[in-house]
Chains A and B, each alone.
Chain A
Amino acid sequence: MSGYFEVKNLKVDFKTFEGQKNVLDIDSLALDKGETFGIVGESGAGKTVLALTILLLLSAPPAVIRSGSINLDGENLLQKTEKEMQKIRGRNISMIFQDPMSTLNPVFTVGEQIIRVFKNNKRITRKDAQKEALRMIETVKLPDAANIMAKYPHELSGGQRQRIVIAIALSCGSEFLIADEPTRNLDVTIQAGILKLVAELQKELGVTVLFIANNLGLVSAICSRVAILHEGRIVETGKVKEVLKDPRHPYTLTLLNAIPRDKGEKVNLDNIVFKDSENANEKGCRYYYRCPEKKDLCRDTEPVCRLIAGTHTVACHMAFKGGEAGGKQHTEG
């Protein structure tokens, strides 16, 4: 592994009135240059916290980064000062946020907003910045770029806005892109367009993409590898094909079963126990109270990530019993 981007032993806590609570506990996560890596989990799993930690955008307090390192191209981001980070954000790492409706400033034209990114990051005349902005809008495949430049965000549709956000994110040549559920609240047809765009840009510009989603379907379409995040811990990771073909962690299985398939088929909810903050298992496996396969072992000792086959690793005590998966075998529908 080239180790282009590496997260090691990262622990992030939030201070609350009820005490300090661990929200992110990642032993290791490594991305190769130029790949698309998916992070999947339900809301509250810590996906967005991970993205914000990488950019050092978490507000502290309440957040406390207890330990760990985040390396991008050999440099530890956690040791950077705020000033240094400001240079890294946008130039080396950028982020597409969830909601294109609220990430753009409503009182400036979108052209102006892209121009400002250039003016802030490069020594460039306004005219050149304008040209560059026009080029960026063409890069994200919006027709009639000159016309779009002069428009305000409210005049654009959701998909167009998200494209502008992507243009802003890529405008200063950053090679690492964090996409935090970029297609949430978008139509299926628009979603397909945005996914295609991300995939194409990734190929053309060679950017590395960390793609956050709550739907495994999206991830299987554009990612090469995936990690399943549950309560701040990575419970299963591997190539998308490996994980989807042979899900070993009961939580992964739950996520797969939650996607509605056919009318006759009931969404398999029997094994789903929903999150309940009162039943947090601090000592052992965090999935303990929701898991259908739980044993005493799971309550007391924390499972570590172990290799199953190829690059497929799982953190579950039950994943190895007789070579069988923790839950039922997931059948392709």
Chain B
Amino acid sequence: MANSILKVRALKKYFPVRSGFFSKPVAWVKAVDGVTLEMEQGEVLGLVGESGCGKTTLVNVLLKLEEPTSGEVFFDGLDLFNMDKKSLRKIRKNIQIVFQDPFWSLNPRLLIRDIVGEPIKVHTNCGGEELATKVGDLMEMVGLPRNGVYKYPHEFSGGERQRIAIARALALSPKLVVLDEPTSSIDVLSQAQILELLRDLKERLGLTYILISHDLSVVNYMADRIAVMYLGKIVEYGPAEDVFGQTAHPYTKALFAAIPTLDTEGIDSITTIEGNVPSAINPPSGCRFHTRCPMAKDICKEKEPGMVDCDEGHIAACHFIKQKPGG
């Protein structure tokens, strides 16, 4: 792809399980197990999956907040994993993150001025008057009053705090913004507002988003492309319309069936997959989803399915997917 901004190749992150402090690891938690992705400038990638499937770990490794076990990540053509600290720091300017819970991600003892201004202070020589104007501009950009900068986080509501977190993430005009469940802890009205704001900012500033969410209606609303994760692996990946319209993988189907919508009539029309995500220390043999899959056959227990092309750019890992004719 011509203007690809992020390239991830066979990324793995295993966490050791030790029985004692100095002992050798007895097992490995395979949190991210071979993820390959590519993102273009200006697109929104929706990352979907249950809790514990490795979404957040994947992002942490992408930002190099965690050391990867193996694999490669290229941001803007630069190899993030073979880089000295100084240049990594420069690149960090271009990748910012908005965390899940705005009640924990803002320091309660700092003024909004300092919270939003901190990244600017760290990365540029800006200060004094100039910094104050910049912070004011950022506040306006996310739809908050300029004089709000002299308040503390507790004086704002959940939705407003999330706006502050967005303002902080945008302070250095990044290229890529990671949104880790940005609306999961605020109510529907604030959620609508935040989504609208994010979309508007993306258009205006030409941002690229990675949107993590387990709420498929949010992902459907925002994303251009969707990656569905299960136990550290991507099981379905493709353009949003295809993943929604011609859902291929049974896990994705199950996720869709579990959402109650306004058209839902009665509890029986919601179906859910039984049980929890299996342990990532000992993932099931063969297809990792076979323990919960309604379609599972013997082959699923033995052989791990590879990625199959369902359509242009739409791939899924399941034995029962019919390949696109001629594809």
Once bound together, how far apart are the Cα atoms of A55 and B301, in whole Å?
A: 51
Confirm or deny: B15 has a beta carbon within 8 angstroms of a beta carbon on chain A.
Answer: no
Q: Which residues from A are CB-within-8-Å of B260?
A: 191-192, 195, 217-218, 220-222
CB neighbors of A among B8-28 (8 A): none
Which residue of A44, A187, A188, A259 is within 8 Å of B188 (Cβ)? A259
Q: Which residues from A are CB-within-8-Å of B266?
A: 221
> Is there an interface contact between B158 and A43, defined as CB atoms closer than 8 Å?
yes
> Is there an interface contact between A187 and B50, defined as CB atoms closer than 8 Å?
yes
Q: How many interface residues does B have (CB within 8 Å)?
A: 46
> Is there an interface contact between B254 and A189, defined as CB atoms closer than 8 Å?
yes
> Is there an interface contact between A258 and B273, defined as CB atoms closer than 8 Å?
no
> Is there an interface contact between B262 and A260, defined as CB atoms closer than 8 Å?
no
Q: Which residues from A are CB-within-8-Å of B285?
A: none
Kindly count the residue-residue contacts between A and B in the assembled complex, taking CB atoms under 8 Å apart.
127
Confirm or deny: B61 has a beta carbon within 8 angstroms of a beta carbon on chain A.
Answer: no
CB neighbors of B among A124-175 (8 A): 157-160
Binds A, one of B79-87, B120-128, B209-217: B209-217
Confirm or deny: B240 has a beta carbon within 8 angstroms of a beta carbon on chain A.
Answer: yes
Q: Closest A-chain residue to B267, C-beta based?
A: A199
Quote the shortest CB–CB distance from B135 to chain A (angstroms). 22
CB neighbors of B among A167-220 (8 A): 184-185, 187-193, 195-196, 199, 214-218, 220
Confirm or deny: B271 has a beta carbon within 8 angstroms of a beta carbon on chain A.
Answer: yes
| Proximity bits, B48-60, A CB within 8 Å = 1, else 0 | 0011100000000
Known contacts A157-B276, A189-B50, A332-B263; is A258 also within 8 Å of B217 by CB? Answer: no
What interface size band does chain A fall in?
35 or more
> Is there an interface contact between B258 and A185, defined as CB atoms closer than 8 Å?
no
CB neighbors of A among B177-203 (8 A): 184-193, 195-196
Confirm or deny: B131 has a beta carbon within 8 angstroms of a beta carbon on chain A.
Answer: no
> Is there an interface contact between A263 and B270, defined as CB atoms closer than 8 Å?
no
Q: Which residues from A are CB-within-8-Å of B263?
A: 220, 332
Confirm or deny: A42 has a beta carbon within 8 angstroms of a beta carbon on chain B.
Answer: yes
CB neighbors of B among A42-100 (8 A): 42-44
> Is there an interface contact between A220 and B255, defined as CB atoms closer than 8 Å?
no
A-B contact pairs, 10 of them (CB 8 A): A43-B187, A160-B276, A192-B271, A214-B188, A221-B266, A257-B192, A263-B220, A266-B196, A269-B196, A272-B193
- Residues of chain A whose beta carbon lies under 8 Å from any beta carbon of chain B: 42-44, 157-160, 184-185, 187-193, 195-196, 199, 214-218, 220-222, 244, 254-263, 266-267, 269, 272, 274, 332-333
A sample of 9 more A-B contacts (CB under 8 A), given A43-B158, A262-B220, is A157-B52, A185-B184, A188-B259, A195-B270, A214-B187, A217-B261, A254-B189, A258-B189, A267-B196
